[in-house]
């Protein structure tokens, strides 16, 4: 009958079929850069796709509010100098016994309040976009400007530009989105019946010559529309071939349980709704129902009442099926 046998092997690990996946940026690596004050966009220094450093100027905004903020700092700095002079004078008078300690304490309190106000005004200007060096230069030269510089909070890539040159923007209006591109995430839609054997750390084969991906999270809920579970993998060193928004096909390398075996795919057949293999014993063959877990080229990983080293038929299956179902008249 041309029957050929093959031994059942243990499936210590196996690779799943190709599964769809989306390349996304981890949310903690992205930032929205907004206008800290309203005004007119007079210059755009960066465009989508540009790499920027932390603190790099992305846009210039002409904002009348900037003049008011700088004026408040200069006024506070003037009050601080006056309070410092009064403190130094009263400290000398106290040493000479001319004034009471209470007056000295009141003078020191006014100085500390003035110093706190100056620190607050400096912090406000830094929050709206002035660098510490620019704030120090303002206090030194007392020359005010109405230009607000919008800076990148992180090093990364500009992934979206939402501002237009000549546009008048409001306070807190988004202008850019900047993101770091390493690492990236793969969001894999794994069928519910295929997640057995997936665990954090499982390796993921990606369509790249370089790059390494491993499972970091297995979702707890099932998508009711397609009965899939979210499996998230983290990818390192993937900038050469993976980009956010890209759809790719991946394969998961999974660990096997003790009751999973590797057999040639040609040994698997179906009779009605049952998937089975024909196992060999001394007096002939008997059918063993199995469930296919994964396919690896010419081999399949199955579960069923098999044992390692047992022999199954890989050819002559049609004759065995005919004998099993009685179609040969025997």
Per-residue pLDDT of 27-40, as tens digits, reads 999 999 999 889 99
Farthest-apart Cα atoms in the chain, separation: 129
**pLDDT at 327 > cutoff 60:** no
User: What is the rounded average pLDDT for all residues in the chain?
Assistant: 88
Task: Report whether 3 contacts 278 (CB < 8 A).
Answer: no
**Cα-based distances in Å from 73 to 23, 64, 143, 175, 245:** 47, 15, 12, 27, 45
Among the ranges given (30-39, 128-137, 173-182, 204-213), the one the predictor scored with the smallest mean pLDDT: 204-213
Radius of gyration for the alpha carbons in the chain, expressed in angstroms and rounded = 36
Q: Report residue 57 CA to chain centroid gap.
A: 25
Residues 140-168 have a mean pLDDT of: 92
> Using CA atoms, how far apart are residues 321 and 52, in angstroms rounded to an integer?
67
* 234-293: pLDDT as tens digits: 998 766 688 899 999 998 887 666 678 889 999 999 888 889 999 998 888 989 999 887
> Using CA atoms, how far apart are residues 5 and 267, in angstroms rounded to an integer?
9
Residues 150-172 have a mean pLDDT of: 93
Question: pLDDT at position 239, please?
Answer: 61
Question: The pTM is what?
Answer: 0.67
Residues 179-206 have a mean pLDDT of: 86
**pLDDT at 88 > cutoff 50:** yes
Give me the phi and psi of 15, to 5 degrees please: -110, 135
Among the ranges given (129-138, 289-298, 305-314), the one the predictor scored with the smallest mean pLDDT: 289-298
Residues 180-186 have a mean pLDDT of: 92
Secondary element (H or E) of residue 241 = none
**pLDDT at 329 > cutoff 70:** no
- Other Cβ atoms closer than 10 A to 22: 14
242 or 13, higher pLDDT:
242
> Using CA atoms, how far apart are residues 166 and 39, in angstroms rounded to an integer?
10
**pLDDT at 320 > cutoff 90:** no
């Amino acid at each position: 009958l041309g029957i050929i046998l093959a031994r059942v092997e243990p499936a210590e690990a196996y690779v799943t079929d190709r599964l769809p996946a989306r390349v996304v940026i981890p949310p903690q690596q992205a930032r929205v850069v907004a206008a800290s004050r309203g005004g007119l966009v007079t210059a755009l220094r960066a465009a989508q796709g540009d790499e920027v450093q932390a603190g790099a100027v992305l846009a210039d905004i002409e904002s009348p509010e900037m003049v008011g903020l700088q004026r408040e700092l200069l006024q506070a700095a003037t009050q601080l100098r006056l309070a410092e002079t009064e403190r130094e004078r009263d400290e000398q008078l106290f040493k000479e016994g001319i004034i009471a300690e209470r007056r000295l304490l009141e003078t020191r309190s006014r100085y500390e309040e003035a110093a706190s106000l100056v620190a607050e005004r400096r912090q406000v200007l830094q929050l709206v976009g002035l660098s510490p060096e620019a704030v120090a230069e303002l206090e030194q030269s007392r020359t005010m400007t109405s230009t607000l510089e919008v800076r990148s909070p992180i090093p990364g890539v500009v992934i979206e530009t939402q501002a237009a040159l000549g546009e008048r923007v409001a306070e807190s209006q988004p202008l850019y989105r900047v993101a770091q591109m390493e690492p990236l995430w793969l969001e894999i839609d794994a069928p519910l019946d295929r997640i057995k054997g997936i665990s954090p750390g499982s390796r993921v084969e990606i369509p790249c010559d370089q790059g390494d991906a491993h499972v970091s999270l297995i979702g707890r809920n099932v998508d009711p529309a397609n009965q899939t579970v979210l499996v998230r993998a983290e990818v390192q060193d993937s900038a050469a071939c993976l980009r956010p928004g890209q759809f790719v096909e991946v394969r998961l390398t999974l660990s096997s349980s003790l009751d999973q075996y590797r057999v040639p795919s040609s040994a698997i057949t179906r009779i009605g709704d049952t998937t089975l293999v024909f196992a060999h014993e001394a007096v002939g063959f008997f059918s063993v129902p199995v469930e296919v877990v994964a396919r690896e080229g010419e081999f399949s990983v199955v579960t069923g009442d098999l044992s390692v080293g047992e022999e199954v038929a890989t050819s002559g299956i049609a004759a065995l099926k005919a004998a099993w179902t009685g179609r040969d008249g025997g």
